[in-house]
Copies of this chain bind each other. A is one copy, B any other.
């Protein structure tokens, strides 16, 4: 078991960010949302969510992170303060007149299957992910789930990134397959859930999906399987990413984005993109995702103590050691 140079000191990062100098190590693009989430046990309104939020809150625990997104005039200033206090570089977060993107969904009894009840795009409908100049030389890029055209547009703005990760969803696979395929060819790692991988590759077996998708260009494919962990397929073989068994999940929303965010943040913190560093970073992703599902919203990712994170990783490593 190897450990990272470890989570950076947040106070230092905060100060560095507040000086508004330098480029972030990680740039995350995606949505910021106010969610209405219904589980079999409770309902919450105006929960801080969105792929960008979850990913950035997780990534910023590991490396200086800049975000590219849009919020409406109704976006509560307390959340903006939270981003800044978490050491997140918000220069790329634009505030527009109008309402913030809103999503509402309900989880079934299994706390896994979910139905979307409503999606109000609002200011997100005209999202134009223009990167601040300082972001364009960031070495680690996470393209959260937005339209593949916008994801490609972001890539056109960055200068020789070291590692680009992209997420996508069934909507884009169904409606803009050609663009998704182009996107896949441009990134280092594609991150999907099992259903999306099958939809995109049009095959059932995940190994067969992996073989095809890797042939399109990326060196890494990560297939997320929720409570069952994830699988990394690369030229170096397969890595089975374990999931920490959460005793009482309260809200699974954002687990995948948290996983991706912690992954890219930890990879940036390690300063390497070797097979070992990628595996290490995926385990951090798994650890952070397990905290994510234990409560509502992304703010909890700011609350969990560094000691708890490290302890959980150690526990998880014990659970897979033979």
Contacts and interface: CB of A to CB of B under 8 A. Distances in A.
Interface of A: 1-2, 109-111, 204-208, 225, 228-229, 231, 237-240, 242, 245-249, 276, 279-280, 283, 315, 317-322
Contacts of A247: 205, 207-208
A198 to B, nearest CB: 10
Contacts of A229: 228, 240
Given A208-B247, A317-B322, A320-B320, A240 B237 contact: no
B245 A238 contact: yes
B207 A322 contact: no
Given A228-B225, A228-B228, A245 B206 contact: yes
Given A204-B110, A205-B249, A238 B319 contact: yes
Given A111-B204, A228-B225, A245-B231, A240 B319 contact: yes
Contacts of A319: 237-240
Given A204-B111, A208-B247, A322 B283 contact: yes
A26 to B, nearest CB: 21
Contacts of A206: 245
